[in-house]
Amino acid sequence: MKFLENSPRFLFFTGKGGVGKTSVACASALTLTRSGKKVLLVSTDPASNVGQVFGMTIGNTVTLLQDVPGLSALEIDPEQAAEAYRERIIAPVRGLLPESELVRIAESLSGSCTTEIASFDEFTNLLADDSSYGDYDHIVFDTAPTGHTIRLLQLPGSWTDFLAAGKGDPSCLGPLSGLEKHKQVYAKAVQALTDPARTRLVLVARAQTSSLSEIERTYLELNQIGIGGGYVVVNGVLPEVAGDEDLAQALRAREAAAIAAIPDAVAGLPRDVLDLKPGNMVGIAALESLFAATSVADITDEATLTSEIEDAPLAALVNEVELDGHGLVMCMGKGGVGKTTVAAAIAVALAKRGHVVHLTTTDPAAHLTETLHGSIPRLTVSRIDPEAAIQEYRHHVMETKGRNLDDDGRAALAEDLLSPCTDEVAVFRQFSKVVQESRRHFVVIDTAPTGHTLLLLDATGSYHREIARQVGDTMGFVTPLMRLQDPAQTKVVLVTLAETTPVLEAEELQGDLERAGIHPWAWVINNSIAAAHPQSPFLQARAASEMEQITKVHTLTDRTALIPLLPEEPTGENRLSALTALSSQPA
């Protein structure tokens, strides 16, 4: 493997959820240990399953793996770290502020920025304290901090003073106020990250356009703060032993096209391609096979699909949505799970049944909009340009709140406006304009803000001020959050894949929404190999590996749709219409 040749002391693995970065990180730590090195494997991934991979409990203390002498592991629990972090900030003012204010502060510290900063605070010693961890030859990190978080730590001036003066909103700068360590400690950690002799960045992706675009974004973001020289690992590429059935041939063609079109920024980096394996990467034997070519011998009879797949077509969800005659359908999920496709399929189906439908999407792949616009009666398709919305919002904030700040203050505010929370606020300002249409007809929204952002906006009164501005002096109004909380008006559909990390991420998203009083109405499991009823032993083994996650989804919701993996990408009117005509049972 190119990315393991002449490895420096620190290796950081990063990539979208579900690409297999935990498996690659674990296999790398195992390989380095087998070469005689002493290795510490550290996970800061909120969806970490390092303990599950090695078949033992690890947790938040350094644990020696008995079956692999020389290898230790540590799982930093991001939620536990974030909770302790919140308590450090809130404890001093508990009893001094009203309970409602404490709730507002807690919610402002419940976003992804807080979790990531708290995690970075936890593993700073691993990068900067040679006295405690100096005897390890390599420290392997499953999940790297984003460039945004590192830039925040490099900002000039005092975060606490900046916030106390009311110059910043509590998105990312709020969490920074809880850092108690001196900035010089973080400077030492960042210095280690940006030294190629000490740190190597490994970008893990699947052979999919969205996944490869994500590693380009990550790479460019980290480049801004001096982390370069990355390596690319394209994981889970369908091997020849998967057979020649139509599904396998189509998947190979799609993967080859995605790799051929790899974004320019990462195209020239050293690259390794890893075969998809028939089973899950659990256990030492499985990990030791990850970097080897997949052979027929890897497919066991016990792994073939024997369970019957429940028939759960997407059409059944459309039937229920249609009964109301109008309403809001919000498709949500992490990147790469197909929520745009699901939203478009629901919208097309409703329009073809005679309903007026407005589909609003932030999909950067404008081909959906171009294909559907004007081609289906009663269907209106609009596309929100996230970049334009975000730039407009940032400019507005800098011209108002940032007008009288000094250079350091403006730098801090500008960095804060690069946070994911800010992006969601900016896009939702555009979404809120179409939410009210759902009282008259169907509105289908692709990509929505998280529950954290909704609560944060509502707590600061942004909803009320924005709506009041729109309706003028008229008496009474309903805020968007109130409409989203009403199941008679809004149906939230969570989209996921039948894989460990995407299901766990969707489960966390469901909890996030429920904090905001929004209960997801249904889940859609997309691109299921099991639902495609493959014939080759290899693909049947992969289908069998999905069953645990499909079963788990049924415990999280009482309404599910299962969409099979298709030979062709479901784009365009005809293929999207076919999605709501499919059954998950073979014809």
pLDDT tens for the chain, 587 residues long, are: 999 999 999 999 988 777 888 899 999 999 999 999 999 999 876 556 787 788 788 877 888 988 899 999 988 877 788 888 788 878 888 888 888 777 777 777 777 777 777 777 777 778 877 667 778 999 998 886 666 667 666 665 555 555 555 555 556 666 666 665 667 777 788 888 889 999 899 999 999 888 898 889 889 888 888 888 899 999 999 999 888 898 899 999 999 999 999 999 999 999 999 999 888 888 888 889 899 888 776 676 555 554 567 778 999 999 999 999 999 999 988 777 888 889 999 999 999 999 999 998 876 544 555 556 557 889 988 887 778 888 888 888 888 878 888 887 788 778 777 776 677 777 777 777 778 888 899 999 887 666 656 665 565 555 545 545 544 554 455 666 777 888 888 999 999 999 888 898 899 889 888 888 889 999 999 999 999 888 888 999 889 889 989 999 999 999 999 999 888 878 778 888 888 876 555 54
In a domain, 259, yes or no: no
Active-site residue, selected from the candidate residues 14, 16, 17, 22: 22
In a domain, 260, yes or no: no
CA atoms within 13 A on the CB side of 518: 30
- 286 with 359, same domain: the answer is no
CA atoms within 13 A on the CB side of 292: 12
- Rounded distance, CA 273 to CA 235, Å? 6
Q: Within its chain, how far is the Cα of 133 from the centroid?
A: 31
- 365 with 284, same domain: the answer is no
Backbone phi and psi for residue 360, each to the nearest 5 degrees, phi listed first? -115, 130
Active-site residue, selected from the candidate residues 7, 14, 23, 453: 23
Residue with tokens 């939410």: 435
How many residues appear in the chain? Answer: 587
Nearest to 313 by CA among 346, 278, 352, 291: 346
- 62 with 147, same domain: the answer is yes
Active-site residue, selected from the candidate residues 15, 16, 17, 18: 18
45: annotated active-site residue: yes
- 54 with 170, same domain: the answer is yes
Active-site residue, selected from the candidate residues 15, 17, 20, 338: 20
- Rounded distance, CA 143 to CA 25, Å? 9
- 479 with 417, same domain: the answer is yes
453: annotated active-site residue: no
- Rounded distance, CA 53 to CA 126, Å? 22
501: annotated active-site residue: yes
- Rounded distance, CA 382 to CA 384, Å? 7
Active-site residue, selected from the candidate residues 7, 16, 21, 528: 21
- 329 with 230, same domain: the answer is no
18: annotated active-site residue: yes
pLDDT of 80 reads 81
- Per-position b or e across 45-63, b if 16+ CB within 10 A of its CB: bbbbbbebbbeeebeeeeb
In sequence order, the 6+-apart residues with CB closer than 8 A to the CB of 388 are: none
Residue 354: how many other CB atoms lie within 10 Å: 9
Q: How would you write 146-163 as a 3-class SS string?
A: CHHHHHHHHCCCCHHHHH
What CATH number does the domain containing 425 carry? Answer: 3.40.50.300
- 283 with 350, same domain: the answer is no
Backbone phi and psi for residue 330, each to the nearest 5 degrees, phi listed first? -115, 120
- 557 with 426, same domain: the answer is yes
Predicted TM-score (pTM) above 0.85: no
pLDDT of 367 reads 53
Active-site residue, selected from the candidate residues 149, 211, 341, 501: 501
Backbone phi and psi for residue 515, each to the nearest 5 degrees, phi listed first? -60, -30
Domain that holds residue 280: 2-206+224-236+269-292
137: annotated active-site residue: no
Task: Tell me how far apart the terminal alpha carbons of the chain are, to the nearest angstrom.
Answer: 43
**DSSP SS3 for 126:** helix
| Residue 352 near residue 580, CB atoms below 8 Å | no
Active-site residue, selected from the candidate residues 16, 17, 45, 352: 45
| Residue 467 near residue 474, CB atoms below 8 Å | no
pLDDT of 475 reads 44
Domain count, the chain: 2
- 552 with 455, same domain: the answer is yes
In a domain, 398, yes or no: yes
Nearest to 421 by CA among 445, 395, 394, 403: 394
- 367 with 274, same domain: the answer is no
pLDDT of 431 reads 75
- 275 with 359, same domain: the answer is no
Residue 586: how many other CB atoms lie within 10 Å: 9
- Rounded distance, CA 93 to CA 471, Å? 38
In a domain, 391, yes or no: yes
